[in-house]
Copies of this chain bind each other. A is one copy, B any other.
Amino acid sequence: MVNWNNLDTLKSFGELESIKHVNLAEIMSGENGAKRVKEYSVPMAAGLSYNYAAKEVDDDIIAKLDALAKETQLIDKFEALYNGEVINTGEKRMVLHQLTRGQLGNKVEADGVDKREFYLKEQKRIADFANKVHSGEIANAKGEKFTTVVQIGIGGSDLGPRAMYLALENWAYRTGNFKMAAKFISNVDPDDASCVLNSIDVAHSIFILVSKSGTTLETLTNESFVTDALKKAGLDPSKHMIAVTSETSPLAKSDNYLEAFFMDDYIGGRYSSTSGVGGAVLSLAFGPDVFAQFLDGAAEEDKLSANADLKKNPAMLDALIGVYERNVLGYGSTAVLPYSQGLSRFPAHLQQLDMESNGKSVNRFGEPINYVTGPIIFGEPGTNGQHSFYQLLHQGTDIIPLQFIGFKNSQLQNDVDIQGSSSQQKLCANVAAQIVAFACGKKDDNLNKNFKGGRPSSIIVGDELNPKSLGALLAHFENKVMFQGFVWNINSFDQEGVQLGKVLAKRVLAHETEGALTEYAKLLNI
């Protein structure tokens, strides 16, 4: 039996608040710093590891975080979730995205079916479809192969799949797994769809319409752009388009699509990269086997997240350190800094995943809470960020915890040696240097050149960004966000905060406004 309590009512949180802080610059100096780097490391799936040596924690604080994990019953709550309890209390839904990549617990039944089997069946259907597209069995009206896949979706139907595609594109080139280029249309700004359509050969393109409800206005609008373009090119849109949607949506049985693949209400948009929402585009772009490896990486990481031993559970540890930074140390944001060009849009995906899940002010019972919840998430790839906003990270007046990600090898494995080192070595040297510079700083009598240090970071390190390590990375952050939601006693799986804007936008379009809204509409010429 799990108990749901507000963070500020917990004994272990009170203890955490009163425990002595560490001086990061001090503990990361000298041999003690070296010892921490060796010891404060937790293996993840797919050869990754989570290293938290440069976080503002020591063994005493970790012990208190462990007590907090136990008092908040994080492992029991995760177990309840993967066994099909109604964890999304606001919408009265189960939360089953982990089932798309493995079965951690009991059989979960809903809508009269075994949900694991349901997700597997859809994966299989997508794989068959993708294989037929690749072989040319499914082709355009002239019998020519499709060469491009275009995903039409917004939010969770866009950011995750797009970030995952970009993360694997170069790897797929090098390893011979590149089947089709993928493009994405998301914004209701007509320039988005127009621009993508201008850049492709529609006659050889297959489009994936992704909307769980089948009613997302942006997505339906962009579908029209595409069907218009196909018709103008003398093509039959229904032969160029598939849908990923729920079985009950208006898209499910429409003749407008070559095929419809299904997800359900138990998978939130921002958690849907391992469902058909990511599965269709990734299977078409790189083949079903690559998508299966991605799922394997996520499944392995999920297993680690079920481990009650905090020091063997990187997602839970990461989550708790984040809570300590947010609720005890008072830091309001986290920068995600991947030293990997392939992860260029991974911070944007995490921004949605984290901020939409945990940007809440009421607990899971709809009662007000008296502590801060989800932080701001932002980031850009290194070394680009170093030449941009790192100035503020190093010498600004606020402390911003940092999440580095780095890989020993590049994806394309094409490199040059300049001044005695390869680009990949320079990249890795920079991330190592930054961690130490942020943690330890450097004294200078000229205060303008002085670095106080004391700026905490962790790093996830791997050999290479590939389907399996990407899956592990994704699952790590999904589970981290889930654990933080449990600690904050909030519902991380609804998003009521997006509703009011939708309602008011409809009113503007119907000219049913008053006051300020009428004036803003005029200003924008609506």
Contacts and interface: CB of A to CB of B under 8 A. Distances in A.
A194 B427 CA distance: 15
A454 to B, nearest CB: 12
A217 B352 CA distance: 34
B526 A191 contact: no
Nearest to A508: B429
A390 B495 CA distance: 9
Interface in A381-398: 381-384, 386-398
Contacts of A360: 391, 395-397
Contacts of A198: 173, 412
A113 interface: no
Given A391-B356, A391-B495, A376 B378 contact: yes
Q: Is the interface of A mostly helix, strand, loop or mixed?
A: helix
B432 A526 contact: yes
A394 B500 contact: yes
16 contacts: A33-B519, A34-B519, A156-B387, A170-B191, A188-B426, A189-B383, A190-B424, A218-B383, A221-B416, A224-B416, A356-B392, A362-B448, A394-B501, A429-B521, A433-B507, A434-B504
Nearest to A442: B500
A392 B372 CA distance: 11
Given A217-B418, A390-B497, 11 more contacts: A51-B523, A188-B426, A189-B339, A191-B340, A194-B410, A221-B416, A359-B392, A366-B446, A374-B392, A433-B501, A459-B523
Contact of A30 (B374, B418, B447, B515): B515
A428 B525 contact: yes
Contact of A432 (B221, B332, B381, B524): B524
A429 B524 CA distance: 8
A361 interface: yes
Nearest to A510: B420
A333 interface: yes
A429 B392 contact: no
A3 interface: no
A516 B28 contact: yes
B388 A400 contact: no
Nearest to A400: B376
Given A154-B383, A431-B524, A448-B496, A397 B418 contact: no
Contacts of A489: none
Contacts of A525: 408, 428
Contacts of A30: 514-515
Interface string A47-58: 001010110000
Looking at chain A, what size class is its interface with the partner chain?
A: 35 or more
A36 B523 CA distance: 12
B34 A366 contact: no
Contacts of A225: 416, 423
A4 B368 CA distance: 45
A195 B341 contact: yes
Given A446-B366, A448-B496, A523-B461, A387 B501 contact: no
A518 interface: yes
B501 A412 contact: no
Nearest to A37: B519
A355 B389 contact: yes
Nearest to A360: B395
A172 to B, nearest CB: 12
A509 B411 contact: no
Interface in A409-443: 410-412, 414-416, 418-437, 439-442
Contacts of A501: 386, 390, 394, 430, 433-434, 437
A100 interface: no
A170 B195 contact: yes
A516 to B, nearest CB: 3
